[in-house]
Homo-oligomer: A and B are copies of this chain.
Amino acid sequence: MNIDMIRASAARAGGHVRRTPLLNSHFLDEIAGRRVWVKPECLQHTGSFKFRGAWSALSALEPDLRAKGVIAYSSGNHAQGVALAAKMHGAPAVIVMPSDSPRLKIANTRAYGAEVVLYDRANESREEIGAQLAGERGLTLIKPYDEPQVIAGQGTTGLEIAQQAAEAGIKKAEVIVCCGGGGLTSGIALALEAEAPGFRVRPAEPDGFDDATRSLVSGKIEGNASALGSICDAIITPAPGELTFPIMQRLVGPGLVVTDQEALQAMGHAFNRLKVVAEPGGAVALAAALFRGDQIEGDDVIVTISGGNVDADMFARALQTLG
């Protein structure tokens, strides 16, 4: 896992993965007390950065293997990223989803051309179902974060940040990244180590699900007590990955933790001042920049909005925080 893999991934992504802009607003700067720069990956294909990693993995596969197809377990952003990336490569995709997933998510994943295999969360194992399908059809499993080509794809976000920050004259900054399993965080950290060594990456997480933050403190992989209880579903993972954690440990600064309510407020500010749609898990880094300024150093902070796949009801809750 190194910068050359990220650069190679970026070369394969050209013309397929969207280059998202770097946004800012005087109003956000005022709240934060420093300049705030926002990388809105909600504008990426399928509405989250996950498409980058999925495209990276699909495009790196041997053509013979790719033609047989890929498989993923996810009811969320990774599912949609893999489904669309596979469709754009003309490769079959199987997504294994819990049968109680929201119908819209199932419908969307099918609309991106994937075969959805439903399983009963209580009585069936998705790993068994997946392994059987993979064996029968020769499908390649695309993991959501603990997979080098996926980390390389997420790292292309960091290459863009480095270039766009240089264009904006930013020489030194903290870069706050919405952190689930650590694919985006470690990918961006590797890219910036090479391209913008004055930048320091830091993970942002929701209160009660701060596994990365605690793992960075203790020096070993720590898990969350629960998998339920936050609205930030996109970034609730059991623990940092076996591949991502050592990278984070080497390169990434202390974590920042925000409440669900602060994530909703950040969604409101993103609506009001940037005109982009953030989902709760995608808004934790912006929330940290706005509401944890005392834990941040320097004149410039760069944050990811990692995704925007939020339903109307939840978004209405965010609008209500604007008062």
Give residues in A with beta carbon < 8 Å to B: 15, 18-21, 23, 26-27, 30, 40, 42-43, 47, 84, 111-112, 167, 268, 271-272, 274-277, 308, 312, 315-316, 319-320, 322
Contact = CB atoms under 8 A, between A and B. Distances in A.
Contacts of A26: 84, 111-112
SS class, residues of chain A in contact with chain B: helix
A43 B111 contact: no
A111 B320 CA distance: 23
A272 to B, nearest CB: 8
Given A18-B21, A319-B312, A274 B43 contact: yes
Identify the 5 closest CB pairs spanning chains A and B, nearest first: A275-B308, A312-B319, A275-B277, A42-B275, A312-B322
Q: How many copies of this chain?
A: 2
Contacts of A43: 21, 23, 274-276
Contacts of A319: 312, 315-316
Contact of A15 (B40, B112, B167): B167
26 contacts: A15-B167, A18-B21, A18-B23, A19-B21, A20-B21, A21-B43, A23-B43, A26-B84, A26-B111, A26-B112, A27-B111, A30-B111, A40-B275, A42-B275, A47-B275, A268-B312, A271-B277, A271-B312, A271-B315, A275-B276, A276-B276, A276-B277, A277-B277, A312-B319, A316-B316, A316-B319
Contacts of A276: 43, 275-277
A84 to B, nearest CB: 8
A23 B42 CA distance: 12
A21 B21 CA distance: 7
Contacts of A312: 268, 271-272, 319-320, 322
A40 B42 CA distance: 14
A77 B312 CA distance: 26
Contacts of A18: 21, 23
Given A15-B167, A47-B275, 17 more contacts: A18-B23, A20-B21, A21-B21, A26-B84, A27-B111, A43-B274, A43-B275, A43-B276, A271-B312, A271-B315, A272-B312, A275-B277, A275-B308, A276-B276, A276-B277, A277-B277, A312-B320
